[in-house]
Homo-oligomer: A and B are copies of this chain.
Amino acid sequence: MSDSERNWASHRDAKATKMAAVQPLLSGKYAKTNDAKQILEALISSGDKVVLEGDNQKQASFLSKILASVDPEKVHDLHMIMSSISRPEHLDIFEDGIASKMDFSFAGPQSTRVSQMIADGTLQVGDIHTYLELYARLFVDLIPNVVLVAADKADRDGNLYTGYNTEETPVIVESAAFKDGIVIVQVNEVVDKLPRVDIPADWIDVVIPADEPYQLEPLFTRDPQNITELQILMGMMAIRGIYEKHNVQSVNHGVGFNTAAIELLLPTYGEQLGLKGKIVPNWEVNPTPTLIPAIESGWIQSIHSFGGEVGMEKYIAARPDVFFVGKDGTMRSNRAFGQMAGQYALDMFVGSTLQIDQFGNSSTVTNGRLSGFGGAPNMGSNPTGRRHSTPAWQSLRPDNDPLGKGQKLVVQMVETFGSSKKPVFVDHLDAEEVRKEAKLANVPIMIYSEDTTHIVTEEGIAYLYKTDSMAERQAAIEAIAGVTPVGLRSNAKTLNDLRARGIVALPEDLGVRRTDAKRSLLAAQNMEDLVKWSKGLYNPPAKFRSWS
C-alpha cells in the first residue's frame, strides 16, 4: 500500500551519524570547553531549526558566543527560534550568514538593531510571538533540530540542575529530546551530586562546561526611590477602583514603577482600606523585590514565577510557604507553566505600554524599535476557552446576554505622557507604520482594544468593558487621556455623563484624595528599606546599592 523502502527513522539516523562524528570529543556526555566550536560545527547542519535559550533574565551566553564563532562556510542559513533577542551575537550571526531566519518573542535590548536588520534584508522574520505560542510551535510546526540551553549544574551522568532560574529550559529540551533533536547544554559547574534533578540526563546529548557562568540580569528590580507621586495616585485609584471593586484574588503585574507602586501601597493604603485578607492572595509574577513588604505583612499566600530575580535567592528560600521551592530549598520557576497560569488561572493582568490608540489598542512597538511581545499578549488577553468562574471574572459578565460569561480583567496603567514627554494616547499607533516596514502580516499590537477592560491614567479610570459601542469606548478613553491630542477631544458634558454611568471614574469618584498621594505612603522608600523588610535576606545587585 505504501513505499516499503521509506526510512521512518531518518531523523534518528541523522542524529546518530552526527553523534558518532563527535564521539572522539566526548567523555560520556561531556565535551571540553575548548571543543565547543568544533562540537557545534559537527552537530548543527546548515538550514537547521535551532533554539537558542534566551529568557528574559537568563542567557545561554557561552553557547551563543560559540555559535557566533562557527565557520559560516560550514554552518549557514540557520532558522533561529529564540524567546528573547538580548545579546549582540544573537544578531551578529545574521550578519555573518550563520543564520538567516528568526522566529522570536521579545527583542527589548536589541529592538532598534532588529528593525534595521529587517529593513536592510539581513534578518528574515518568520514571525513575532507571545512566549506561550512560541513554545507551542516547538511541538507542531517549529520542531527544532538542535537546542542550545543553559543550566546551573550537571552531575557526571548529565542530569541537570536549573534551580532558581529554571525558566524555559524544560519545555525547550522536551521538544527536541523526544523528536530526535540534539540537546546541547552549557553548565556553570559540574558536581558529583546535584541539589535536585530538574531535567533527567536521558533527555540530554552533550554537556559543555562554560568558560564563565551564564549571563543573568536583574531585569525586574525597581528601586522604590524612583516611584513618583503621580504613580502613587494611579496605584491608589487602581486599588480602590479595580482591585477592591472587582474583588480581585489572583493577578499578574507587569514590570514597572506603576505596579511597583501598587505592591508598596498594599501594606499601607490597602491596610487603611481594610482590604488585607480580602484581595490578591495568589500571584503569578516574577519575584520582584517590591513585593517583599506585602509578603512580610501577610498579604500574599502564593507566588508562582516565570523566572528568578537576582538577589532574591535567600529571601525566597526562607519563604517556602509563599514561593514554589524544591526540597533542596531553592525556587523552581517555570516560564511555560507560568504563562499557562497567567493566561488561564488569573483574575487580572496589569500592564503598561508606550502607546494607546484612540480605540484602545496598545503597543510597545514604536518607530524604529521592533521590541516584540514577550508574555503580555498572552496574559493580557481574554482566553475564550476559560470555563471556570470567579467573582472578579464574573463581575464583567454582560447583563444583556443569558448565554454570556465573565471576562479576564486586562488593565493598562499609563501616564498620559510618557517618560520622553511624548503623548501615550495617539490617533494611530507607530506599529501601523512598522508593519509596513517590516512586512508583517498584521499590525504588531501588544494588547487589542477588545481585550482591554480598564485603562488607568493620572486623570482617572476608564471602565472600557462597560461601553456598548466603539464610539462610547473612544469617548471613555478621551475622558482620561489628559491633554494629549486624543484627550483634548473630550468635553465636560460627555465626561459627566460617563461618570454618572460608571464608565469613567475620577479620583474623587473613588474617594481617593490627590493630596494623599505622597511618597511617604509607600511601604518602602528605597532599596535599603526593602532589605530591612526582608530581614536582611534580600541582597540587591551592586547597581541598586546606594548605601555602604
Q: Indicate how many identical chains form the complex.
A: 2
Cβ of A88 under 8 Å from chain B? no
Compute how far the CA of A293 lies from the CA of B2 in the bound complex, rounded to whole angstroms.
Answer: 9
Which residues, 110 to 124 on A, are CB-close (under 8 Å) to B?
none
Q: Scoring A residues 387 to 403 as 1 if CB is less than 8 Å from chain B, else 0, what string do you get? A: 11100001001000011
Cβ of A141 under 8 Å from chain B? yes
Which residues, 196 to 231 on A, are CB-close (under 8 Å) to B?
196-198, 200-202
Name A202's contact: one of B293, B326, B442 (CB within 8 Å). Answer: B326
A292: shortest Cβ distance to chain B, in Å? 10
A332's closest neighbor in chain B, by CB?
B178
Compute how far the CA of A159 lies from the CA of B143 in the bound complex, rounded to whole angstroms.
Answer: 27
Number of interface residues of A (CB under 8 A): 108
A368: shortest Cβ distance to chain B, in Å? 20
Cβ of A433 under 8 Å from chain B? no
Cβ of A322 under 8 Å from chain B? yes
Compute how far the CA of A444 lies from the CA of B10 in the bound complex, rounded to whole angstroms.
Answer: 46
Which residues, 492 to 546 on A, are CB-close (under 8 Å) to B?
532-533, 535
Compute how far the CA of A127 lies from the CA of B9 in the bound complex, rounded to whole angstroms.
Answer: 44
Residue contact B326 to A336, C-beta cutoff 8 Å: no
Cβ of A319 under 8 Å from chain B? yes
Residue contact A405 to B442, C-beta cutoff 8 Å: yes
Residue contact A385 to B389, C-beta cutoff 8 Å: no
Residue contact B444 to A200, C-beta cutoff 8 Å: no
Name A318's contact: one of B8, B139, B198, B249 (CB within 8 Å). Answer: B8
Also in contact, A200 and B200, with CB within 8 A (given A320-B180, A441-B394): yes
Name A284's contact: one of B139, B250, B406 (CB within 8 Å). Answer: B139
Compute how far the CA of A3 lies from the CA of B386 in the bound complex, rounded to whole angstroms.
Answer: 38
Q: Scoring A residues 114 to 157 as 1 if CB is less than 8 Å from chain B, else 0, what string do you get? A: 00000000000011111011011101110100000000000000
Compute how far the CA of A377 lies from the CA of B344 in the bound complex, rounded to whole angstroms.
Answer: 12
Cβ of A71 under 8 Å from chain B? no
Q: Counting chain B CB atoms within 10 Å of each CB, which of A141, A250, A320, A535 scores highest?
A: A141
Closest 8 CB pairs of A and B: A389-B441, A197-B200, A127-B388, A381-B385, A136-B345, A136-B344, A133-B344, A140-B345
Give 16 CB contacts A-B under 8 Å: A8-B320, A8-B321, A9-B320, A10-B321, A132-B340, A133-B383, A136-B344, A137-B341, A140-B302, A140-B346, A178-B325, A178-B326, A343-B385, A377-B385, A389-B441, A403-B448
List 18 additional A-B contacts (Cβ < 8 Å) besides A137-B341, A143-B302, A402-B443. A1-B532, A1-B533, A2-B298, A128-B387, A133-B388, A139-B304, A139-B324, A139-B337, A178-B326, A178-B331, A180-B321, A336-B337, A381-B384, A384-B448, A403-B443, A403-B448, A405-B448, A406-B441
